[in-house]
Amino acid sequence: MSNTVGALAIHEAVDLIHASHYTVALTGAGSSTPSGIPDFRSAGSGLWARFLPMEVASITAFRQHPDRFFEWLRPLASHMLDAHPNAAHLALAELEAAGQLQTIITQNIDGLHQRAGSKHVLEVHGTLTTLSCVGCYQQISSQGYIDRFIRRGTIPRCPECQRILKPDTVLFEEQLPAKIWLQARKAAERCELMIVAGSSLVVMPVAGLPMKALEHGAKLIIINQSSTYLDERAAVLLNGDVAEIIPALAENIFSRLIS
């Protein structure tokens, strides 16, 4: 574990989690990079260091050049489908099962929280598990379609009208899914504790949820490799790898629960 994460800080975080009756985790790309999924914004290595987002991942780009969008998506989707939940995902699922975590709000579209066993996951930036037709608007499971797309490069098309099927991920220029976003805001306003895990808190409006939690009296634990705009407001700040820190927190919590 990083030497910037001391036993005292771990103990303080465990105290907060143990005392909270409603805890929310907000996870970002840093919670999935240990599973081998590239993030978008890291200097030099993030996807946006190699691609201009408005040219490949905006709704305008999708409508004008869907083939370019799918060409960009193909290796990323392959990474996501081949990835396995890491220790952070598994520890969060265990905390939820033990009643120590009530909701996960995630900026990720990889589905790893669900594969780890988490039940109450709010995917505010959408998901690859479903597709929506741009013609007749029906929504269908991506099972089979995404596999063929990754293996052969076949752009998915609607079985009814043969128009292109768009993955239900949120592109630039698109609104967040309204129902999910309202649930996320409600969870942020209701929680007594929010754990920010693997997010630099730069993408709005999701980056504003921890501030909303603070405004409603919640405490904040931030676990991240880099700094965030709310570091000074955090009750506990843990700089390091979420795949090391979150399992350590869970281990300490479970030891306390059985003692």
Give the residue numbers annotated as catalytic, written as ranges: 125
Q: What is the DSSP letter of 42?
A: S
DSSP secondary structure of 44-81: TTSGGGTS-HHHHSBHHHHHH-HHHHHHHHHHHHHHHH
Single-letter amino acid, residue 103: T
DSSP classification of residue 209:
H
In this structure, are residues 26 and 212 in contact, taking their beta carbons and an 8 Å threshold? no
Q: What is the Cα–Cα distance from 14 to 100, expressed in whole angstroms?
A: 10
Query: Bridge-partner residues for 219, per DSSP?
Result: 193
Residue 174: count other Cβ atoms within 10 Å of its Cβ: 14
Strands 121-123 and 126-133: unpaired
Q: What is the DSSP string of 116-178?
A: HT---EEETTEEEEEEEETTT--EEE-TTHHHHHHHH-PPPB-TTT-PBEEEEEPPBTPPPPH
- Return the ∠ at Cα 32 (arms to 26 and 33), rounded to 5°: 130
- What phi, psi does 197 have (nearest 5°)? -130, 110
